[in-house]
């Protein structure tokens, strides 16, 4: 059936409710929810190719579960029994572990561990581990997020993403920011280098030898970086860096500068600097949205490839290492490729907000 004519799916009201509940239910496995979505879309009249594109699965997968449902209805969406020893833990016990993990916390802690969950449900720690793995549950992990509250968030996203995807003609787009408080650190004892069967080893403690601030401007189209280290990151230092940038860009092009809302970027000194240069155009990122400034990606590479594992006995040595890294990168520049449109980003933010509101409503 999956390779021939697609089975026509007509749902009863009871079946539709059950499938929609399976999609929404928090304790549904990813596979079960995906199968339910395939059937719901098939009932709307979509062919297997359209369903596959919409859900990001293969056409054969859509045809298989469509045919299974047409033959066995709701029972066809569940995996068939496989050969081997029968399971010792039933569906009710698995549901108990999953529900407890998602909806409760132990009295003495903020989250479940395998041992506490095993004790609370009467199963082994190995079984808890397998159940959590099957349902993609990781109670020991937590991630952070921050939603921008900028009232001009939509307009700023469209403005900056537009510069990345469709830059103006005869114009240069620069992403500008500073990486402050970069520490010159040296280990308290000599490093033990990598050798066969042994990773590089170093002491956990270190000696501080001062800090520096790197001001950087990334040419979005080419990938080259203009960088300058200074001891502080006030408006006066930022203006000096803008002078440095001005001396390194073509005089016959408009300059579009993407930067964040740091106070040093908005002082009268900086406003006057831009006011005297009509070919320079400022584009401020939304608050709490540093991810949209591409120079942050350069800072991440610099930290990972040079600063994090480097040993620097003075700020001068640190600054030399930074400028050497920038020089090497500019010798073979590779621009960062921005792929998401403003509509894609805003739709993703909207979905995240809706999920956040739905979870909050469940908690209340």
pLDDT at 82: 55
**3-state DSSP call for residue 170?**
coil
**289, 150 contact by CB (below 8 A):** yes
Q: What is the mean pLDDT of each run of 10 residues along the chain (364 residues)?
A: 62 76 65 77 79 79 77 66 68 90 90 93 92 92 86 93 92 94 90 88 89 95 94 93 94 93 93 94 93 94 91 92 95 92 91 82 68
Nearest to 309 by CA among 298, 297, 321: 321
List beta partners, residue 215.
Answer: 178, 228
pLDDT at 8: 74
Nearest to 284 by CA among 308, 266, 301: 266
pLDDT at 2: 42
The residue count for the chain: 364
Nearest to 318 by CA among 329, 302, 331: 302
Alpha-carbon distance of 127 to 94, in angstroms, equals 9
Q: What is the pTM of this model?
A: 0.69
Q: How far from the centroid of its chain's Cα atoms is residue 98's Cα?
A: 26
pLDDT at 81: 56
**3-state DSSP call for residue 342?**
helix
- CA 230, 236, 239, 241: dihedral to nearest 10 degrees? 0
Helices 30-43/13-24 angle, 10° precision = 140
In this structure, how many other beta carbons lie within 10 angstroms of the beta carbon of residue 287?
16
DSSP of 89-149: S-HHHHHHHHHHHHH---TTSSS--HHHHHHHHTS-HHHHHHHHHHHT--TT---------
**3-state DSSP call for residue 179?**
strand
Q: What single-letter DSSP state applies at residue 75?
A: G
Structure tokens belonging to residue 24 = 């929404």
Give Rg (Cα) of the chain. 28
**List of residues 6+ apart from 314 with CB closer than 8 A:** 184, 209, 210
pLDDT at 52: 80
**274, 280 contact by CB (below 8 A):** yes
- What are the CB-based long-range contacts (under 8 Å, 24+) for 163-168? 163/220, 163/256, 163/258, 163/283, 164/220, 164/294, 164/338, 165/338, 165/341, 167/220, 167/221, 167/256, 168/254, 168/256
pLDDT at 360: 74
């Amino acid at each position: 059936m999956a390779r021939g004519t697609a089975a026509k799916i007509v749902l009863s009201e009871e079946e539709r409710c059950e499938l929609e509940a399976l999609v929404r239910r928090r304790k549904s496995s990813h596979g079960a929810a995906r199968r339910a979505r395939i059937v719901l879309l098939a009932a709307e009249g979509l062919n297997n190719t359209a369903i596959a594109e919409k859900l990001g699965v293969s056409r054969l997968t859509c045809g298989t579960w469509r045919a299974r449902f047409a033959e066995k209805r709701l029972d066809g969406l569940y995996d068939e029994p496989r050969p081997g020893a029968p399971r010792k833990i039933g569906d009710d016990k698995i549901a108990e572990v999953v529900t407890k993990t998602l909806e409760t916390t132990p009295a003495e802690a903020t989250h479940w561990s395998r041992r506490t969950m095993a004790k609370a449900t009467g199963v082994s720690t190995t079984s808890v581990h397998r159940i959590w793995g099957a349902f993609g549950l990781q109670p020991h992990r937590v991630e952070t997020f921050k939603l921008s509250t900028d009232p001009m968030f939509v307009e700023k996203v469209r403005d900056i993403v537009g510069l990345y995807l469709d830059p103006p003609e005869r114009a240069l787009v620069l992403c500008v920011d500073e990486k402050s408080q970069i520490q010159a650190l040296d280990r308290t004892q000599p490093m033990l280098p990598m050798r066969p069967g042994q990773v590089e080893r170093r002491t956990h403690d270190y000696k501080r030898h001062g800090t520096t601030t790197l001001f950087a401007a990334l040419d979005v189209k080419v990938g080259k970086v203009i960088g300058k280290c200074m001891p502080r990151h006030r408006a006066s230092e930022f203006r000096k860096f803008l002078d440095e940038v001005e001396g390194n860009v073509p005089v016959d092009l408009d300059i579009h500068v993407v930067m964040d809302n740091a106070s040093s970027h908005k002082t009268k000194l900086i406003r006057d600097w831009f006011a005297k240069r009509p070919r320079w155009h400022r584009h401020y990122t939304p608050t709490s949205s540093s991810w949209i400034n591409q120079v942050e990606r350069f800072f991440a590479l610099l930290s990972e490839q040079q600063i994090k594992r480097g040993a620097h006995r003075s700020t001068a040595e640190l600054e030399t290492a930074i400028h050497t890294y920038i020089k090497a990168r500019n010798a073979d520049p590779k621009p960062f490729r921005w792929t998401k449109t403003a509509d894609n980003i805003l739709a993703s933010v909207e979905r995240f907000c809706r999920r956040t509101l739905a979870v909050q409503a469940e908690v209340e």
